[in-house]
Chains A and B, each alone.
Chain A
Amino acid sequence: MAASALPKRIIKETQRLIADSPPGISAVPHDDNLRYFDVLISGPEGSPFEGGLFKLELFLPEEYPMSPPKVRFLTKLYHPNIDKLGRICLDILKDKWSPALQIRTVLLSVQALLSAPNPDDPLANDVAAHWKENEQDAMRVSKEWTAKYAK
């Protein structure tokens, strides 16, 4: 389909993101596809992901903002709500999406998910089980992975 003009909303969101990015988050669109963003999120303080810098990709589909953006981790991480492929189990990326949410709020939510894993709604079952059985040990693995992959 012929590339149609970028909606004003996406242009404005991008401008605002670049001008005033939330702490620990950066999102930069590709030159050849302004709907596709390279994202960096730094691991929140006090979480086992602290000190890590996590790469993600974010894509705004044609229906955005009536449909959620597609977001995925590219950096490996040990987290009960993020699977091997980097897919994220987060309600606002699915059925709880609202058009009032933005790239900024989505990425802040993803960052918050790093601080608050939810093993009761797992995407990576083995990790979730580990988290529930022995949270200390699971967090140790998360730290290890962060040191290993998210530098």
Chain B
Amino acid sequence: MGNSQSSSNSSSHGGTPSSSNRSRSSTTVGFSDQVVDGGSLEPLSFIYASSIADYSRPTVHKLIVERKLAPFHLGLNDFEEDWDLEQLLAALQDGERQASQNLRDAHQAAIVAVQEAEAAQLTIPPATRKSKEGAAAVASAVMHRERLAEVIKHRDKRGGGGLHGVSKTEQARQYQSRAIECPICFLYYPPPLVHTRCCDQPICTECFVQIKRAEPDATHLESEPAACPYCMEPNFGCVYVREPVRPRIQTTQNSAGSSGFSSTEDATAPVAKPKPRRKSFAHTEKEVVTTDQLHPDWEAKLEAVKATVARRAARRVVFRQVGDRLIPVGITSGRSGDGGNTTMSTTQLPPGFAAQVAAAMDASSASGNSRASRSSRRRNQEVAAYLQTMGVDVGQDLEEMMVEEAMRLSMLEDEERQKKEREEKEKAAKANGEAVAGSAQVAETSAQGASRSTLETPNTPHTTAALLSDAISAPMGSASLLDPSPNHPPVSLPSVPVLTPSPAPPASSNHASPPAESQLSPPSAPPRLPSLDLTNPSTLPASIPSRLDSNATPTPASAPTLQDSTPLAVTPSASSVTSSVSALSSVEDPLAGSAGYEQLEDDGEDDDDASVRERMAATSVSA
């Protein structure tokens, strides 16, 4: 908690989370009470209070002041042309009440969102990239909450949503006998609204500023400008044509209608009255306000998603062929950029790592079923949905983070163990026979060392797995890996050569050795974490009837099985290995492995992380 708190503070004040974030929320721009053409520079109805600062506020302010965009007006829920002022005043009051409620609802939701983001942050181990992203999510949620709180405070201070310096009666008169229903939000506004550049249809400013490009995602790496909601013309834009000045404001008639606007109610002015259908504007014309102008961050968002995808695509699991098996020896970090370089950025996997990951994930899914899964799934979905609005993809990254963390912990442990072994050996050499209790165990370990993975080593008390499970989810820490689950009967597995950094080639010595009596819970079900649901495109709130779930969760296609196509020895329980298999089969040719490292192609963006995990699982089973 303290951690997330401090990081959220630092990022909201220090400005770590990128300039795009800053420009999007525009918190630096204060409220404006300025009234332009009887309207406001800020929204008044708060129809979209849950995305209150989703457009560039400075741009909108500027465009309204320049009369290129209609000011915001309060939308009336109902309206009749024959309403008198009193009825209009009542409607205004109703509209303001509705606006206040919209704000309160959004604020309430924002408070919950912050709590959930903070809770989610707690499940992420510190000092990883994920935790940075988690902190950014918290910061962003906090920012949104504060923003709403500010709006509410400002509104209260002014005693409601009225317009500064404009009397209620004046405001009501704007609607009289001529309010226009916005075809998007169905509320009534005083004319003129902005009109679409293409088909000349009205749209209220509050709806217009909400329309933007579709959010890019990993499967759709292009971004097209929003289309007109009415006629689907690409490059949506609007034009604001100010109303002709009303005659009663004009004091003198003799000043001659020199300017186009100073026209008249005169029946004698034949040209001005029945407004001819205006021509449509090209989106490049200077009168036109496009959605991209109001949402200048679209490009940054797109770049962010592209970078994420590129980084993922660049990451590969590197295998080494040992005898007739493939052993994962590392994962290219891919952070270095284009992914062309595998050897330089390869992180070495310690022996037994894969088995530990698989076991820990298994345990986490088991405990997740019992309690944590429901709430955390929902929470994660919401957070993911929120993050997606920021162009951050969480779904797959949590696992990536877990794998990284597991590797880190496992390597630390392995280093520790080796160091200890070395010390013990030295000691043993010095004082032969005077071994302490601990060193006896270690000696035993080193004696068996070559044919054992760390998990199988009796005196390595599953610490990595425990740490990992702690790291994955806090409540899950109680799930004991030591408890053999009845669902996962132990399986005897053939021995696996341990790839320690020692230069000794392990292949030949182990080739003929009898199977070790290693017992290891196989990942009989695909390790399933609550967080995996983040990849689910559905962001349905919990209130949805469950029937719709199937609508949103496509059933995965069946995949080829491993046994047929690869030289790997795989137990039947590995049938859960799916999409990564085709990648594994690409190294069928034993000669291909003689070079030492074998790079496997990713077989798709979608299951990138899943396939990493599945490769791990597959190898651990084969090990």
Contact = CB atoms under 8 A, between A and B. Distances in A.
B383 to A, nearest CB: 13
A8 B186 contact: yes
A74 B105 CA distance: 33
A66 to B, nearest CB: 6
Interface in B212-241: 214, 227-230, 232
Given A12-B186, A61-B541, A95-B214, A5 B101 contact: yes
B229 A72 contact: no
Contact of B47 (A7, A36, A72): A7
B553 to A, nearest CB: 9
Interface in A84-141: 85-87, 95-96, 98-101
Contact of A70 (B207, B214, B551): B551
Contact of B105 (A2, A36, A70): A2
B551 A87 contact: yes
A19 interface: no
Given A57-B545, A61-B540, A62-B50, A5 B232 contact: no
Given A8-B185, A99-B184, A100-B183, A2 B230 contact: no
B210 A98 contact: no
Interface string A1-24: 111110111001100000000000
Interface stretch (B28-36, B106-114, B413-421, B512-520): B106-114
Contacts of A72: 547-548, 550-551
Interface string B528-554: 000000000001111111011011100
A98 B229 contact: yes
Interface in A23-70: 33, 35-36, 57, 59, 61-62, 65-66, 70
Nearest to A58: B548
Contact of B551 (A35, A85, A96): A85
A65 B184 contact: yes
Contacts of A66: 48, 210-211
A33 B105 contact: no
B98 interface: yes
A15 B187 CA distance: 15
A100 B551 contact: no
Nearest to B182: A9
Given A2-B105, A99-B207, A36 B541 contact: no
B500 interface: no
B463 interface: no
A8 B187 contact: yes
B77 interface: yes
- Chain B contact patch, size range: 35 or more
A1 B77 contact: no
B115 to A, nearest CB: 11
B345 interface: no
A150 B539 CA distance: 31
Contact of A62 (B47, B207, B541, B550): B541
B46 to A, nearest CB: 11
Contact of B184 (A36, A59, A74, A100): A100
B102 interface: yes
A145 B489 CA distance: 46
A74 B551 CA distance: 10
Interface string B93-122: 000001001100110110010000000000
The prevalent SS among residues of A at the interface is loop
Nearest to A84: B555
Contacts of B232: 96, 98
A142 B228 CA distance: 36
A3 B75 CA distance: 22
Nearest to B181: A12
Contact of B552 (A12, A65, A70, A95): A70
B541 A100 contact: no
The CB with the most chain B CB atoms within 10 A, among A33, A86, A100, is that of A100
Interface string B362-400: 000000000000000000001000000000000000000
Contacts of A13: 186
B418 to A, nearest CB: 51
A7 B555 CA distance: 33
Contacts of B48: 66
Contacts of A61: 539-541
A61 B541 CA distance: 8
Interface string B414-442: 00000000000000000000000000000
Contacts of B106: 4
Interface string B72-102: 0001010000000000000000000010011
A2 B184 contact: no
A64 B77 CA distance: 18
Contacts of B552: 70
Contacts of B230: 98, 100
B77 A8 contact: yes
Contacts of B184: 9, 65, 99-100
Contacts of A7: 47, 185
Contacts of B109: 1-2, 4
The CB with the most chain B CB atoms within 10 A, among A2, A3, A35, A86, is that of A2
B186 A4 contact: no
Given A33-B543, A72-B548, A85-B550, A8 B105 contact: no
B238 to A, nearest CB: 13
B364 to A, nearest CB: 27
23 contacts: A1-B109, A1-B541, A4-B102, A4-B106, A5-B101, A5-B102, A8-B98, A8-B185, A9-B186, A12-B186, A13-B186, A33-B543, A33-B545, A59-B544, A59-B545, A65-B185, A66-B211, A70-B540, A70-B548, A85-B550, A99-B207, A99-B211, A100-B184
Given A85-B551, A98-B227, 19 more contacts: A1-B542, A2-B112, A4-B109, A8-B77, A13-B186, A33-B543, A57-B547, A61-B539, A62-B50, A65-B185, A70-B540, A74-B547, A87-B551, A95-B214, A98-B230, A99-B184, A99-B207, A100-B184, A100-B229
Interface of B: 47-48, 50, 75, 77, 98, 101-102, 105-106, 108-109, 112, 183-187, 207, 210-211, 214, 227-230, 232, 382, 539-545, 547-548, 550-552, 555
Which 8 pairs between the two chains have the least Cβ-Cβ distance? A4-B105, A100-B229, A98-B229, A9-B186, A72-B551, A12-B186, A99-B184, A85-B550
